[in-house]
Structure formats: C-alpha cells, structure tokens
Structure 1
Amino acid sequence: MVKMAKTAANPSDERTIGIIGCGHLGRSLARGLIDSGFPKEGLLVSYGGSSATLEEIRKAGLHENLSDNLEICKRACIIFLAVRPQSFQTLGELSIPAGTLPVSCMAGVGTAALKRQLGIDCVRIMPSGPDTIASKKGIAAVFPKDDEVAALLSGMGLKVFSLSDEEMMHTFTAGVCLTAALLVARKNGLDIKPAVEAIEKDFPPFGEIYAWALDALPNLGSDEEEEKYINRMCTKGGITESIVQSLYSGSSLLGALENGIKRSKELSTGG
C-alpha cells in the first residue's frame, strides 16, 4: 500500500539538520530546505574534499554552512546521507547518537543494511533527480513512514509517497529514472505505454510516476543538450546508468526498467 503525504513542511527554527554529502543532490536538498523557510543557520553540510564540489558549494551560497561529519553527528537531530551508494561501507565510520534520525538517500541500500552499518534505525528516501527538486517538480518515496521527514520533503515542493513495503522502493527507484529513460526510448522509437502498464499491474503508482516524468522533462533544444542531460542523470554503477545502457544496447523500455529494478536489488545486497 502506498500513502501520499500531504502535510506541508513547517520546520522548527530550533532544529539542526545535517547533510552528509554535498554533491548535486545534497546541494539541492540544502537549497530546498532553505527555500522552504528552514533557517539557514540551522543547516550543516559536509563534502568529500573535492575542489570542484567546494566551488559548487560556494556558488550555491552554502560555504558558511560547511562542517565536518563529526560535528554534524554531534549537533544534528536529522541527518540526510546524500553520498553515493558505492560509499556505503564508509558509513560505519560515522558515530550517530541514539535519538538522531539518519535519512538515507542512497539508491538500493536497504534499511537492514543501513542499521548494520550505522547501529541505529534509519529512514530511507528515494527522491527524483536534483534538477526536479530545484524546479519544485520532484517526487520522493519514504520508508518506513515518517511524518517529520515527509513534512520536510513536502515543504520543498516534493510529492511524497509513503511506502508500506520496502520492496516497492526498487520499482519506485526505476520510476524516478524515467526522465532520462524516456529521452532515449523516444530516440529509439520505442512504444512506452506497454512498459508503464506492465509495471503498473504490480505497482499501481507507476502510472502516476510516468505522468510526473512527462511533466518533469526539461525543454531541451538539441540532441547535444539531451545527451548532456542524460549523462548528468547517470551515476557510475547506478540504476539510471543501468536503464540507459540497456536502452542503448537495444532493449525494450520494459526490459530496461526491469534491469534497473534488478540493479537496485543488487545494490541492496552490496552488489
């Protein structure tokens, strides 16, 4: 069963929120929180040390919010983990105290695996791409249901789906990759609706996710711009990359999405 959260965010100015990993997604979440009214001084962010990322942090106006993981774990009551799934093993280095809520944005990494690494329970979210968050056209799945997290995401303009079964997260994750997948599928002349209808039989919200993807697609003026967008959506070894590569290899859209779901499951078991 899927429940859509409708509560708008109303963050307290007394909370401190941390974001570990300030790449494209982390910066989008940070800006989304600030734009929703969350006090900027209550936000802490950290990054992996890349000079290019630091420059983007400056451009986003987040330089004064920079901290380190140790300080974030000490001070924040909610910590978004916006690192790549491939960095999952490094989470064991974090010391997150009881009473703090970690919120994982890592595609494919399940709550049981997260608890083994972190030592405490964690909420999983699967947001759509950073571009959709920035344009207030994002969606996100949450598991398990958490009203506080849902309210924060809703306040950023995201449509929130609270999932009752964690296995649904794999299909939802493939769904948020649809913007890039649709561009390739259209280029290849593929019939899209049969794939959507087939997946919708097992996961009814997929039709709504497809409608979201159509609305969220940016207006791109050339094949070159489309290619840049697709490449930007792909993370090496990630789920969007798996779907896009399948399409480039001649797969049907349904086959490519199924490969994306399979890749999500592989990541959930450490693959």
Structure 2
Amino acid sequence: MKIGFIGCGNMATAMIKGILDSGKVTAEQMIASAKSDQTREKISSELGIAAAKTNVEVVDFADVVFLAVKPQYYEEVISEIKDDIQKNQVIVTIAPGKTLTWLSERLGSEVKIIRTMPNTPAMVKEGMMGMCKNELVTDEELQQVKEICESFGKAEVVPESLIDVVVGVSGSSPAYVFMFIEAMADAAVADGMPRAQAYKFAAQSVLGSAKMVLETGKHPGELKDMVCSPGGTTIEAVRVLEEKGMRSAVIEASKACVKKGREM
C-alpha cells in the first residue's frame, strides 16, 4: 500500500514517523507535499520519504491520501486534486467541521472518504483518533486505514455524529491537560520546588493517573475516592476544586470546543 500526505505540518510529521517506525509501510511507499521549500527539504532529509512538488503528484502516487492541511485550505486543495482522484483510492481527512457530505459534494460522489480526528500525542505514539467512513469505503479498507493509524496511538470507529465530540474529548483536550500540568507545576514552584522538577512530578502524576483509568477499568470517581482519606490533604484539595468550579469549567470548555468544530 502506498500512502501520501498533502501537507506536512506537526500532526502529519508525527503520523508519518509513527507509520514508518511501525514497519507497515516503507519510506519508498510514502510521499508528502508541502508549500515551502524548507518543509519539502524536511520531508526528504528528516523523514526520508519522497517530497512532492505538487498535491496532484501525491494523488497520482498514493493508494491512501491524507489531507493534512488546515481546514481553511480544504477548498483550495480539493479543487486542485479532485479531477485526478481514482475510484480505488481512499481519501482520509483530519480536519474538524468538514463532514462527509461536505467532502463528497466537493471531491465527487464516487470518492471513498474516511473522516478522522487525531490528536498531538501522536508525536509520542500515544494518540487517540476517532474515525468514520462514507458508504463507498469497504469495511476491509476502513480496517486497513485504522491499522495504519494505530501506528501512532489508538483509533476507534465512531458514528459521524460523534466526530465533533471526539474533537472536544481528545482532539483539543491535550491543551486542557497541558494547562492543568502547568498550573500544578506553578503551585509547586510557588511552594519552593524547582520548575523542571515540578513539571516532571506533575506530568508523571497525570500519566500514571491516566494509565490507572485505562488499565484498572475502574470508574474515575472510584479512583478519586481511593486517594481521598477522611479529613486528609486530598479531600481538602478536591473541596477547593469543586468550590472553584473545576468540573463545570472543563465541561463548558469542551462543549464550546465541540460547538466551534461544528461551525467550521
């Protein structure tokens, strides 16, 4: 299988590295395009794959084409490539707000489309991706693309109605987590801990806590209760977080994120 990327920013670079490291596809089976000479040089030297001068060159080469440009450039890119797409090719998108219907109207009604939403932890092969397909994509083709995407994290098939929810709960949520880590580290620094050490303590605590949720199968509330001893330090911190509206702030932020995604 030959894979192409139109666009090679941070997300595409993380995805390409994960795919190459998995060994499922060789460098000779991959190609990527970019607008700038500097990025094309990075594609060749850092990633070791072919650097296309045009987006059409990617389409002419690949069996699976990832549209990895920002949402505002989708119209422009689609107009460039739509006449060169073949019926046996699969187009994979990673942009919020661009529905299967919207994409089909612009790419053509006979084009196989898989809509996905990845996130930046793909950079460390711990990404989380939601994906859905149009009726032209076979289950086998969807599974093949899913396996490719699992080179850089986890992937799950969801109804298209939930793709915008995926944006809120995983696509954008690393930013919320980074803010939480930064805030915890700031508090530790205020109490005398060196900043580099504070980031390490905070980040490892978040990593370990997330792993407990995934590996124990316990409800997050149960795990929280396990830390909260009667009259202890943790329940006092939890009391303040509840007083300050932490849960409500996170819920409202995520809902605003989903709303924005649907409007794009």
Normalised-by-shorter TM-score class: 0.5 to 0.7
Choose 1 or 2 for highest CA Rg. Answer: 2
* TM-score scaled by length of structure 2: 0.66
**Aligned residue for 2:58?**
72
Q: Could you say what secondary structure the match of 1:169 adopts?
A: helix
- Does structure 1 conserve the Cα–Cα contact (< 8 Å) formed by 2:32 and 2:43? no
Preserved contact between residue 63 and residue 88 of structure 2 (Cα < 8 Å)? yes
1:51 Cα shift?
4.2
User: What is the root-mean-square deviation in Å for CA atoms of aligned residues?
Assistant: 2.5
The count of corresponding residues between Structure 1 and Structure 2 is 192
Work out the CA distance in 2 between the residues paired with 1:255 and 1:22. Answer: 32
Which one of 113, 123, 126 corresponds to residue 117 of structure 2?
Answer: 126
- Which residue identity is paired with 1:142? M
Match of 1:140 in 2: 129
SS in 2 for 1:179: helix
Overall identity of the aligned pairs, in %: 23
Which protein has the bigger helix share?
A: 2
State the alpha-carbon separation in 1 of the partners of residues 251 and 12 from structure 2: 30
* Residue 79 of structure 2 corresponds to residue 92 of structure 1: yes
Q: Which amino acid aligns with 1:104?
A: T
Which amino acid in 2 is paired with 1:179?
A: P
| Cα distance between partner residues in 1 of 2:208 and 2:13 | 22
In the alignment, structure 1 residue 181 sits paired with structure 2 residue 176: yes
Which structure 1 residue ranges, 5 or more long, are not aligned?
1-14, 190-210, 217-250
* C-alpha distance after superposition, 1:214-248 (max 9, x if no partner): 649xxxxxxxxxxxxxxxxxxxxxxxxxxxxxxxx
Contact in 2 for aligned 1:19/1:81 (Cα 8 Å) = yes
Matches of 1:52 and 1:74, distance apart in 2: 23
State the shift of 1:20 in Å.
Answer: 0.7
List runs of 5+ in structure 2 lacking aligned partners. 134-138, 185-205, 212-247
CA distance in 1, matches of 2:209, 2:91: 32
1:255 has 2:252 as partner: yes
**Alignment-derived partner of residue 11 in structure 1:** none
Matched, 1:149 2:135: no
8 Å CA contact 1:21–1:81 kept in 2: the answer is yes
Deviation at 1:133, TM superposition (A): 1.4
Partner of 2:166: 172
Helix, strand or coil: the match of 1:255? Answer: helix
Matched residue type, 2:147: A
Instruction: Quote the Cα distance in structure 2 between the aligned partners of 1:26 and 1:184.
Output: 24
> Could you tell me how far apart the structure 1 residues matched to 2:249 and 2:164 are?
19
Q: Distance in 2 between matches of 1:65 and 1:84?
A: 21
Structure 1: distance between partners of 2:44 and 2:89: 28
Amino acid at match of 1:89: E
Distance apart, 1:75 and its partner CA? 2.2
What is the CA distance between 1:70 and its match in structure 2? Answer: 1.6
* TM-score, L = length of structure 1: 0.64
Q: How many Å separate the matches in 2 of 1:88 and 1:126? A: 15
Tell me the SS of whatever aligns to 1:27: helix
| Structure 1 residue 135: Cα displacement | 1.1
Partners of 2:183 and 2:124 lie apart in 1 by: 28
Q: Given residue 8 of structure 2, which amino acid in structure 1 is its aligned partner? A: C
